Amino acid sequence: MCSPSQIRLLLLLLFFSSSTHLFSTSNAALNPPLHPDTQHDIVCKSTPFPESCLESSKLSISINISPTILGFALRSLDGALSEAGKLWGLLPVDPALVEHQKGAVQDCRELHQITVSSLTKSDNLLRSSKQTRLSDVKSYLSAALTNKNTCMEGLDSASGPSKPILVGAILSLYKHVTNALSIVSSGGNQQGRRLGAASAATSGFPAWLSRRDRRLLQMGDVNDYDPSLVMTVAADGTGNFTLINDAIGFAPNNSEDRTIIIVREGVYDEYVDVPPYKTNIVILGEGKDVTLIRGNRSVGDGWTTFRSATVAVSGEGFLMRDVTISNTAGPAKSQAVALRVNADLTAVFQCTIIGYQDTLYVHSFRQFYRECNIFGTVDFIFGNAAAVFQGCNIIAQKPMPGQFIAVTAQSRDDPYEVTGISIQNCSVLPTDELGSGGGSTKSYLGRPWREYSRTVYIESYIGDFVDPKGWTQWSGNQGLDTLYYGEYNNYGPGSGTDNRVDWPGYHVMEYEDAFNFTVSEFIAGDEWLQSTSFPYDNGV
């Protein structure tokens, strides 16, 4: 007799084989039938981890039903979810596991919860009989892989007998995640590219935000919102709360409605945390000159980079306007994050983000920044989100003696991850202290944190402090032939491309290449930013 899991899989495969017509044309590339004799070669042997793929597909082989490519992706996801359950049992803090940086295991636990949510969403989307938005699936799986790297970075500083067991469980889980992303991408790598492009918004904001949310972000109009979901934080005690975290804690969990938190003028010395279950939070300051959130955690003082953030956002649908966030640890304390975002469909408007090394951690998922001021020194916009910056001032500060400036350090680690940093219609400038030309400090547009690092500058002003080479290495030749760095129609004294690096991965882009990194294409912005009322440009 078949086990319950075999019966479930049998029914699932029968559903896919008999109901392919239910899937839209956009899913057809994922559903070609595969003959049993060739299924290993065509699918599993082409994945990054064939043994893990075969392990997850054994059941479909044993019952001798020809699977679809979509079925293989689901098998890999099922394998990942199974391994995720095992990993969760290992993540409680083991007293024998010594953390040399504060928060390393806490980072892993928090990120693991987000990974499980991303895998579940991907699984549900691929099982749906409705049109599957592959851009969503790829975004979720890309974020999951980013979580693995961040967890492993924190564990690098840990020691103890349980560490190898924990690391082994993490690697086993993410082999299945990597395979799932590979299968989905290779089976439908042209799907989801132009989501919503034909209905691009004209108001200046991407479409994932509703008209009501746009008004909220542009004008602070809260009249259309349920008064019970509008709260005021005031440091002087005249609001509902004196601390921002208290207001976030009071907000409903997993809300589909916006919760508006108005933060009055004042200095808020607190570490603001928006956890994954606090969705659709909106923070409205009274102005970036008067509403300031301030912290000073750093790697130099023993925190992980992930945990050093003054403001940390993990709740999907987060919006913020008219706030300054700073990390005052200073250039001598190494990595010290002001704002970290690992939340999908996030938009930040008219904010100032101040730090030195690692100021803005665009960790994962889809993010949009408009008309913000971002200050830093080394790798001060970094991470593996799909992040678009428009109309921002990106301002290099004077670093420690002997340091150089790298504006970006993008950490894409897999060729199928739909991630990167796109800087469009921005200004890249030095502070007065750094000075025109940068003095003796070498300054670059970016460097490759990981092998498939991807960053582009489009139609932006680049100051003369940027070295004519434009870009610099991370470590030796790491990623120089696999990264993608591009420039398109930039201007200003530092924008000339004649003396740029000659790496295989560097490109002076054509229009079509640049268009792939716009709001409409790169972060499917026409699908979600319209709801924020943030302005945006959807093309080149």
E strand or H helix that includes residue 52:
helix 50-62
Residue among 494, 533, 188, 203 nearest 349 (CA): 533
Residue among 251, 215, 220, 245 nearest 233 (CA): 245
The sheet carrying 393-396 orders its strands as 266-268, 291-295, 324-327, 352-354, 373-376, 393-396, 427-430, 461-462
Query: CA 258, 259, 265, 270 torsion: positive or negative?
Result: negative
Residue among 63, 43, 65 nearest 54 (CA): 43
| Contact status, residue 145 vs residue 119, Cβ threshold 8 Å | no
Q: Which of 123, 136, 213, 379 is catalytic?
A: 379
Residue among 387, 298, 214 nearest 374 (CA): 387
Q: Can 379 be counted among the known catalytic residues? A: yes
Residue among 144, 180, 177 nearest 70 (CA): 180
Q: Where are the beta strands (DSSP E) in 66-178?
A: 98-99, 158-159
C-alpha dihedral over 222, 223, 229, 234, to 10 degrees?
A: 50
E strand or H helix that includes residue 75:
helix 69-88
Q: Which residues are catalytic?
A: 379
